[in-house]
């Protein structure tokens, strides 16, 4: 086992305090470049440390970002579900998040049908039955172009779409403003950025009384998914170093194989 220096041990404890976890890849970076790990912990921990969101909400956003079909990072989903539950999230909260993840692909449909409607010369407005108009108003901003387009192109699809998006489950889950913040995070993240949808969702959030600092924090959290590439690279680097060292020891038995911490 390779013992940590006092400086490395302090950085490890700082990282865990800032990020809430410790993994083999962080151990590799700690050993090779501890200052990088310290600076990453400071950078990635800043939004959670200084922003207005609760730990529960932060972890739910991370669950959404890692579970998104644009990322599908299993280890991250597991880590952040665990942390979210410890922070007070309920199973209903988690399933609401996963509902939003399932609906993320619809943002491309909204964009596509709006373009189709424009190019086909469809009216930007249409008359909806009163019951459907109320359902639409509960989900979409007034005069949403894609709603009018779907109502003209495929009213049956609009009806089942509303049924999927409506939250009629008796279980208690996320509040409407919390759902909007999670949708903002999904559409702001570099893995699934959708500027048109992001503008619409930010306007919904502001009109709904969400503080700008919360919106900013939701946007900032998405940047941290990039470290998963670092984690992959550090893991493969560790495998290479271990294999190389083992091979050298086999060629020269006098060279001891140093065991690295897991």
Q: What tens digit of pLDDT does each residue of 92-149 get?
A: 999 999 999 999 999 999 999 999 999 999 998 888 888 888 899 888 877 788 999 9
Tell me: the pLDDT tens digits for 6-19? Answer: 999 999 999 999 99
Element (H, E) at 67: helix 55-67
Alpha-carbon dihedral 90, 92, 93, 98, rounded to 10 degrees: 130
Percentage above 70 pLDDT, the chain: 92
Element (H, E) at 175: none
CA–CA separation, 8 and 86 (whole Å): 28
Percentage above 90 pLDDT, the chain: 79
Phi–psi pair at 150, nearest 5 degrees: -65, -40
Would you say 12 and 177 are in contact if contact means Cβ atoms under 8 Å apart?
no
Mean pLDDT of 181-208: 95
State residue 169's pLDDT score: 56
Task: Locate 153 and state its tokens.
Answer: 């192109």
Task: Locate 165 and state its tokens.
Answer: 């998006």
Where does the pLDDT of residue 236 fall: very low under 50, low under 70, confident under 90, or very high at 90 and above? very high
H-state helical runs in 138-175? 145-153, 155-165
């Amino acid at each position: 086992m390779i013992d940590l220096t006092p400086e490395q041990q302090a950085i490890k404890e700082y990282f865990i305090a800032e990020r809430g976890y410790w993994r083999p890849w962080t151990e590799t970076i700690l050993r090779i470049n501890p200052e990088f790990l310290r600076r990453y912990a400071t950078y990635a921990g800043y939004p959670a440390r200084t922003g207005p969101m609760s730990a529960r909400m932060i972890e739910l956003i991370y669950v959404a970002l890692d579970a998104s079909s644009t990322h599908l990072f299993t280890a991250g989903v597991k880590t952040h579900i665990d942390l979210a539950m410890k922070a007070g999230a309920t199973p209903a909260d988690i399933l609401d998040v996963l509902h939003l993840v399932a609906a993320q692909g619809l943002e491309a449909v909204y964009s596509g049908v709006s373009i189709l409607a424009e190019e086909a010369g469809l009216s930007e407005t249409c008359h909806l039955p009163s019951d459907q108009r109320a359902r639409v108003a509960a989900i979409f901003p007034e005069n949403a172009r894609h709603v009018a387009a779907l109502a003209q192109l495929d009213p049956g699809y609009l009806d089942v779409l509303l049924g999927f998006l409506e939250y009629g489950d008796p279980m208690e889950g996320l509040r409407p403003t919390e759902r909007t913040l999670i949708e903002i995070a999904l559409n702001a993240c570099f893995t699934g950025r959708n500027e048109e949808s992001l503008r619409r969702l930010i306007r919904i959030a502001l009109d709904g009384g969400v503080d700008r600092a919360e919106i900013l924090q939701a946007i900032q959290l998405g940047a941290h998914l990039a470290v998963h590439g670092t984690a992959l690279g550090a893991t493969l680097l560790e495998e290479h170093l271990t294999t190389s060292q083992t091979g050298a020891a086999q060629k020269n038995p006098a060279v001891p194989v140093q065991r690295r911490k897991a």
